[in-house]
Amino acid sequence: MTHSEIEVSAELVRDLLRDQHPDLTDRPLRLGARGWDNQLWRLGDDLAVRLPWATQSADALLLKEHIWLPVLAPRLPLPVPVPQRLGEPSAPFPRPWIVTTWVPGEPSDRAPVTRAAEAADALAAFLTALHQPAPDHAPIGRGRGGPLADHSEGFAKQLAEAAERGLIPDPDAVRAVWDDAVAAPAWSGPALWLHADLHPANVLTADGTICGVIDFGDLCTGDPACDLAAAWILLPDDTADRFYDAYQPAPDAATLRRARGWAVGRALSGVLIGEAGVHGRPGGKVTWGPPAHAALRRLIATAQR
């Protein structure tokens, strides 16, 4: 991550609102979260301000959400952050920013799913609704939704690092899940809309089940297996089958194999990010470790049946 040299503060956010959206200036304002790409500030009870701060690509991701989420949100059965206002680059903050609806709930890396059946059905209904053919001018992803083999070099590096650090008990079993997924037939259907970043910090829970999905910066089109990996990452043990039974149309065997590959790659990243958090290294997030380790355990166990 490359953090912006501009310090984002409540005073700065208030000044930006006063200059461009003065009708929102008097709402209560407080920091919500600092993510990979953006900072999120609560604005009253029902809105939030998102400002890029950590990566140069964040500007384009915010603008993509501003264009496409209002189109997709009405058909989605779970709440998502719908952009309401666009903030233009200015002297105090020379980057675009947006005001969105606020989605209540806790990130599932902090409040994991406990009502497994309800969560599986909610996630399946959400992805069934999202995974529709996209128009030709829809955005292309940052390497997501395409062939899994394109990520083999990065996967190998992460696997080697995790093994060297002693973070995974059976690297060969992890590699076997990946190799099987890469060998599966490629997606031959239409390019479908994808969230493409369904890790636990981007899925919200309340009362033990899934209640919202956030951060659509990686919204793109392609192979639904990229999103179907979420069953292994987000849901408790012995729940993936219920999810795949509820998702429509029913995925074929090749898609399920590719989904496992996306899941093992995402879990491996989560293990490394979690370990970095434990040791206070930049970009580390302690809460990412436990769900990632659980996902790897599930994926290996089912592969060995």
What average pLDDT does the segment 78-89 reach? 97
Mean pLDDT for all residues in the chain: 94
Q: What is the pLDDT of residue 1?
A: 41
3-state helix, strand, coil in the chain (%, to 5): 45, 15, 40
| Angle, helices 253-278/171-183, rounded to nearest 10 degrees | 140
Distance separating alpha carbons of residues 168 and 166, to the nearest angstrom: 6
Q: In the prediction, which pLDDT does 124 show? A: 98
Whole-angstrom distance, CA of residue 219 vs CA of residue 49: 19
Mean of pLDDT values over 177-194: 97
pLDDT level of residue 58 (50, 70, 90 thresholds):
confident
* pLDDT class of 131 with cuts at 50, 70, 90: very high
Return d(Cα 295, Cα 233) in angstroms, integer.
5
pLDDT given at position 5: 62
Band of the pLDDT at 97, cuts 50, 70, 90? very high
Give the whole-number percent of the chain exceeding pLDDT 70: 98
pLDDT at 7 over 90: no
pTM of this prediction exceeds 0.85: yes
Q: Is the pLDDT of residue 203 over 50?
A: yes
